[in-house]
Amino acid sequence: AQKITQTQPGMFVQEKEAVTLDCTYDTSDPSYGLFWYKQPSSGEMIFLIYQGSYDQQNATEGRYSLNFQKARKSANLVISASQLGDSAMYFCAMRDNNNAGNMLTFGGGTRLMVKP
């Protein structure tokens, strides 16, 4: 069974500083994908970044980067130059590629609060 663990229920970061949100996962499948989503207080889920288990390089999307350490089964999200609009819940999710329905398993989330 797959499992996603986000150990930080809440975090503060000063505006313009970088912050790392932790995510560890557990799966026995060699082929899988890892996703990060942002959920503002309005409720929608916004896709941020994707990392495939066979990708050689860490994924980057603008100010978001994924610190993928396969041997440690971790996929931490790094947000550089934090902005007030980054305040939100952040969810890590995993999908194993043998799953015909391509369902996602979500972690419990981390609430990030950016201080001015």
Binding-site ranges for other proteins (CB under 8 A): 31, 33, 35, 37, 42-47, 50, 52, 54, 89, 91, 95, 97, 100-104, 106-109, 111
Comparing CB distances to other proteins, the nearer of 3 and 16 is: 3
**DSSP H or E run through 24:** strand 24-26
- In this complex, which beta carbon is closest to other proteins, that of residue 85 or of residue 101? 101
Could you give the 3-state DSSP secondary structure of residue 56? coil
Considering the complex, state which of residue 26 and residue 81 has its C-beta at the smaller distance from other proteins: 26
- For the CB of residue 87, give the shortest distance to other proteins in the complex, in Å: 14
Kindly compute the dihedral angle of the four CA atoms of residues 87, 8, 70, 93, in this order, to the nearest 10 degrees: -60
Minimum gap (Å) between residue 81 Cβ and other proteins = 24
Angstrom distance (rounded) from CA 25 to CA 69: 11
- Measured from the CB atom, the residue of 54 and 81 that comes closer to other proteins is 54
Evaluate whether 25 touches 34 at the Cβ level (below 8 Å): yes
CB of 40 to other proteins, least distance (A): 11
Q: Least separation, in Å, of the C-beta of 51 and other proteins?
A: 11
Other CB atoms within 10 A of residue 116 CB: 6
Structure tokens given for 3 = 């499992």
